[in-house]
Structure 1
Amino acid sequence: MKFVDRIDEAARLKDALAREKSSLVVMYGRRRLGKSTLIKRVLSDNDVYFLADRSEDQHQRTLLAKVIAQIFPDFDKLTYPDWESMFRAVNYRTDKRFTLCLDEFPYLVEQSSELPSVLQKLVDEKQLKYNLVLCGSSQNMMYGLFLDSTAPLYGRADEIMKLAPIRLPYIQEALSLDAMNAIEEYAVWGGVPRYWELRENRSSLDDALWRNILSVNGTLYEEPIKLFQDDVKDIVKTSTIMSYIGTGANRLSEIAARCNEPATNLSRPLKKLIDLGFLEKDVPFGIDEKNAKKSLYKIADPFMAFYYQFVVPNRSFIELGRRLPIEQALNAHFSEYVSMKWEKLCRDAVTGNLVNGVVYGKAKRWWGTVFNEDKKPEQVEFDVMAESLDKKYLLVGECKWTTRENGKQLTAELLRKANMLPFAKNYTIVPILFLKNAPKDDVGNAILPENVVELMR
């Protein structure tokens, strides 16, 4: 698959490795985001790339010595009793700067807890003649090794890069899609390049789903468990929480009731899943993020959301190879599922962006009770709401992932609801329709898939 994006990350890595003095670079992020691919694209033939595994430390040093021997002949003829002697031997043999990359660095630390202290000593001596790149998929462990103020390597890294999922426009480029299909594909695969590669190998989205996810032999059939193994101790509890949220339990009280646990027991695992990027907390526009009463928990990662909505509830059918019930679930709910992801993409597209000549802040949803024209309470909801940075405008948006809508009617309803909001009185209301297709009776305020893709570049 074509290598896309990662322009800033590649530039930062190249810059760090080209400095006058040797650098310590740290790169981390969840599995499958392309960390190793990015590093290998930047490294030259004179650099050393080593992928660690979970074998014992002496065996790892033997394997690393064989790789280093490719640039320093006979380096593997000696036995290195510990990591310090090995790193110092490399330094002794170095006559011109090169880079040593240790990928899956947490695996090495699991077997050799002294390794961070050894590296701290070498870095602090300022005698190293080569660059070190330390990479890992265990977000927890990498954070603890380099960003915890009590850790030996805290403050020693010259660059720390956390790789995030790739944004929507690049799936369009990587898989040569139109904007509408890019959004549907992104709703399943998210911004994970390895998933895009698996999709590229199949003729259609449907074919890729059955091959990779909806089959016991699918490459991604057990993917969430593999991701949790890197960072979570209680995998069963974590997967249970994700299942409940994925099937509609979004309030803390609902999740606690289904887990049969007091809500206070769930605050830590929920926060952990948010920190790892698997969950997000949805709070209405204008409400303090810490307001627990109004908070809703949603699955943030598109692949995980798809998995817990369509795979987990149908696992028995998948195990038996029964396609029909799963096909029915997809036919009935896939478009609705994509519409939820479309809403999120629209909010992301508005956030911090110039829309019709106005720059907006963070876009959120809003839901609550207002008093209508008859002075009666009415429940209303807005898919997108954002305040302009100059505080003059309030963008209110309706998102639809259906066939041609009536633009005039939707806009009138948006304005009716917005005019009932007590806090909207001080703003100029800007109604925007985020639509899958161009509307009937277009009133010039529609934003279509191609516009959203462009806004997210």
Structure 2
Amino acid sequence: MFDRDFEWSELVRFVTYPGPEATLGVVSGRRRQGKTFLLDGIARATDGFFFAASEATEAESLRQYGVAMARFEGRTVPYRFTHWDEAVEATMHLATARTGPLTVVIDEFPFLAKASPELPSLLQRALGPQGRREGGPVRLLLCGSALSFMGNLLSGTAPLRGRASLELIVPTLDFRLAADFWGITDPRLAMLVNSVVGGTPAYGREFTLGDVPADLDDFGPWILRNILNPGRPLFREARFLLAEEPDLRDTALYHGVLAAIAQGNHTRGGIASFLERKSTDLGHALTVLEDTGMISREPDAFHGKRSAYRINEPILTFYYALMRPEWSDLERPGQAESVWQRSHPTFRSKVIGPHFEQLCRTWTRWYASPDTLGGQRTRVESGTVADTAARASHEVDVAAFGRDEDGRETLLAIGEAKWNETMGFGHVQRLEHIRDLIRARGTVNAPATRLLCFSGAGFTDDLHARAAHDPNIQLVDLERLYKGA
């Protein structure tokens, strides 16, 4: 197990609760994050019952469930349930023969609920006062990767709302943990790999069989071996991620929205223009993609009514920006290397560049120290600042906000991120100009806003000299991004 201490401790606390009543826990998270590994581990550690559902009809699922339950109890004859009402009742009595609580895990629960929509209501009744009195101390864990479904399982007027004692989301590994997981010590190589596969644990083990780039020179060959290779699962992973979401029906539209964002269209209007549709036509698609966790909507730091859409899973960005436009060639043997060579500009501008900016915001939000930012941050976003005199607008890659002694929100720092460009004094002057514009507007409190320069290629000597004597200028290279604060 790697870096799942919090999740494991919460599961242990839940399954070892000594109370006599049945309890419910819900575990969710994006696909390939290790949820099944965790739940199988907790079931084994407590000698519990683990059932992995599959996409099947109600009758077939009941047969599979009856066989699994009989096997767990050591019975030679499987249970023959005709309805989930019987199966739920039998499940809640599994613990009656034990002196303590019993762990029961149902993995991929959305498959069962899709075929049997009444199942959550049956569980609600079993977990109600009467069911708790008649059953035993079952510790029921429902797990699923369909984020929209799992998110609604306990919300609003859903039958199971208010019944759960545990609501656990298993996150993807952040960029620092991902580097440790892959065993990559070179921060530049770690950033490149992360821009393609992110922090999904399965991609570092099962999907690549532990194949890690040996060094920077091996990054391109590694891409050819694992990502652009039709014989490897990561080649079609992005397509499968979309196909596996039950709420995505008009797949052509969802593919189009993701392609638009990957090509650099982050606003609703930009996406609509790319697809040659009205922006009002995209509301449902954007909401569904948000609910499934594939994209996120980030507010503009300086304009409350504006927002930017970004893809959460790097493998999706890589696919829609680089692979999808070249799909015909990539499917033909021997063409991957030429596709990769001519796609280098796309990779730099559409994949690694935006990914580097996002990780700079992540570092500022979670790793940068108060000494670096000049205070405790409360939120970190990107945004745009209008320059009316020049009839232009300036993009701010990083904007860190905090609060002053009076509790008013204040702009702690603004920053610019350049992946493949050596940053010099000119970049600081640009940030100073943006800071002056923000102060002149007067809508944001910015009395001591610091300037952050993020670069994957380093900084000029004169900028190093200036920053050494001015704490208001902070230089963040890859080494600091991965190891410093």
Please, what TM-score do these two structures have when normalized by structure 1? Answer: 0.89
Correspondence for 2:360:
346
Q: 2:471 corresponds to which residue?
A: none
Describe the SS at the equivalent of 2:26: strand
Structure 2 equivalent of residue 172 of structure 1: 179
* Counterpart position of 1:399: 417
Aligned to 2:382, what secondary structure does the other structure show? strand
- Shift in Å at residue 329 of structure 1? 3.4
- Structure 1 residues 53-76: Cα deviation after superposition (integer angstroms, max 9, x where no partner): 122333333333333334422164
Paired residues of 1:435 and 1:449 also in contact (CA < 8 A): yes
Q: How does 1:33-48 map to 2 (within 5 A)?
A: 33-44=33-44, 46-48=47-49
Q: 1:201 aligns with which of 201, 210, 234?
A: 210
Q: Is residue 106–residue 142 contact of structure 1 (8 Å, CA) maintained in 2? A: yes
How much does 1:426 deviate? 4.3
**How many angstroms does 1:10 deviate by?**
1.6
3-state DSSP class of the match of 1:414? helix
Closer, same or farther in 2 for the Cα pair 1:368/1:29, shift >3 Å?
same
**Deviation digits for residues 415-436 of structure 1, max 9, x if unmatched?**
2332233247741131121122
In 1, distance between residues paired with 2:313 and 2:268?
A: 19
Q: CA deviation at 1:376?
A: 4.3
Contact 2:385 2:394 in 1 (8 A): yes
Q: d(CA) in 2 for partners of 1:180 and 1:17? A: 42
The one-letter code of the counterpart of 2:139 is N
Indicate the residue corresponding to 1:100 in structure 2.
Answer: 104
Contact 1:310–1:329 (CA<8 Å) still a contact in 2? no
Cα distance in structure 1, aligned partners of 2:193 and 2:126 = 47
State the shift of 1:132 in Å: 0.9
Instruction: Tell me by how many angstroms 1:311 deviates.
Output: 0.8
- Number of the residue aligned with 1:240: 256
Q: Which residue of 1 aligns with 2:242?
A: 228
Following superposition, the deviation at residue 173 of structure 1 comes to 1.1
Does 2:428 align with 1:411?
Answer: yes
Q: Following the alignment from structure 1 to structure 2, what is the Cα–Cα distance between the partners of residues 413 and 90?
A: 65
Correspondent of 2:13 among 15, 18, 33 = 15
Instruction: Determine the C-alpha separation between the residues in 1 that align with 2:90 and 2:383.
Output: 61
Deviations 1:177-226 (A, max 9, x none): 12222222111111211122234622424344324432333312332332
Q: 2:240 is aligned with what amino acid?
A: K
Distance 1:108 1:157 in 2: 19
In structure 2, the CA distance between the partners of 1:7 and 1:433, relative to structure 1 (3 Å rule), is same
CA contact (8 A) 1:386 1:394 kept: yes
Contact kept in structure 2, 1:395 and 1:429, CA below 8 Å: yes
Tell me how far apart the structure 2 counterparts of residues 220 and 242 of structure 1 sit (CA, whole Å).
Answer: 18
8 A Cα contact 1:434 1:446, kept in partner? yes
Q: Deviations over 1:148-192 (max 9, x none)?
A: 41x222221111223332211111111111222222211111121
CA distance in 1, matches of 2:423, 2:275: 40
Note if 1:118 corresponds to 2:126.
Answer: no
2:336 counterpart letter in structure 1: R
| SS of the residue 1:361 aligns to | strand
Shift of 1:91: 4.4
Identify the residue that residue 152 of structure 2 maps to in structure 1.
Answer: 144
Contact kept, 8 Å, 1:396 with 1:429, in 2: the verdict is yes
Q: Which amino acid aligns with 1:11?
A: S
Mark the CA change 1:393 to 1:91 in structure 2 (over 3 Å): closer, same or farther.
closer
Size of the alignment, in residue pairs? 445
Tell me the amino acid that sits aligned with residue 430 of structure 1. Answer: R
Cα 1:383–1:257 shift into 2, 3 Å: closer
* Contact 1:57/1:111 (8 A) holds in 2: yes
Query: d(CA) in 2 for partners of 1:88 and 1:416?
Result: 68
Alignment of structure 1 residues 11-90 onto 2, 5 Å: 11-21=9-19, 22-44=22-44, 46-74=47-75, 76-90=77-91
Please give the alpha-carbon distance, in whole angstroms, between the structure 2 residues aligned to 1:49 and 1:453.
38
- Of 209, 224, 227, 1:210 maps to 224
1:189 aligns with 2:197: yes
Corresponding residue of 2:329? 317
Map 1:278-289; keep pairs closer than 5 Å: 278-288=294-304
1:106 CA drift (Å): 1.4
1:365 corresponding residue in structure 2: 382
SS for the counterpart of 2:233 is coil
Conservation of the 8 A alpha-carbon contact between 2:321 and 2:346? no
Cα–Cα, structure 1 residues 161 and 262, in superposed 2: closer, same or farther, change >3 Å?
same
* Contact kept? 1:370, 1:379, Cα under 8 Å: yes
* 8 A Cα contact 1:281 1:296, kept in partner: yes
Q: 1:268 aligns with which of 259, 274, 284?
A: 284
Q: Taking structure 2 as the reference length, what is the TM-score of the superposition?
A: 0.84
Distance 2:278 2:249 in 1: 20
State the alpha-carbon separation in 2 of the partners of residues 376 and 409 from structure 1.
18
Rate the CA distance shift 1:91–1:326 in 2: closer, same or farther, 3 A: same
Distance 2:278 2:352 in 1: 33
Distance (Å, rounded) in 1 between the aligned partners of 2:286 and 2:270: 13
Query: For residues 221 and 318 of structure 2, what CA distance do their matches in structure 1 show?
Result: 16
C-alpha distance in 1, partners of 2:275/2:261?
11
SS in 2 for 1:164: coil
CA distance in 1, matches of 2:264, 2:411: 33
Equivalent residue letter for 2:189 = N
Q: Per the alignment, in what secondary structure is the counterpart of residue 420 of structure 1?
A: helix
Secondary structure of 1:382's partner? Answer: strand
Q: CA deviation at 1:298?
A: 2.9
Specify the alignment match of 2:475 in structure 1. Answer: 446
1:7 partner letter: D
CA displacement, residues 374-412 of structure 1 (integer Å, 9 cap, x when unaligned): x54454332212223224553121212226433x44323
Q: Which moved more, 1:413-422 or 1:27-36?
A: 413-422
SS at match of 2:259: helix
Q: Structure 2 vs 1, CA of residues 43 and 92 (structure 1 numbering), >3 Å: closer, same or farther? A: closer
Secondary structure class of the residue paired with 1:320: coil
Instruction: Give the C-alpha shift of residue 344 in structure 1.
Output: 0.8
Q: Deviations over 1:14-58 (max 9, x none)?
A: 111111233211112222121101112222351111111122333
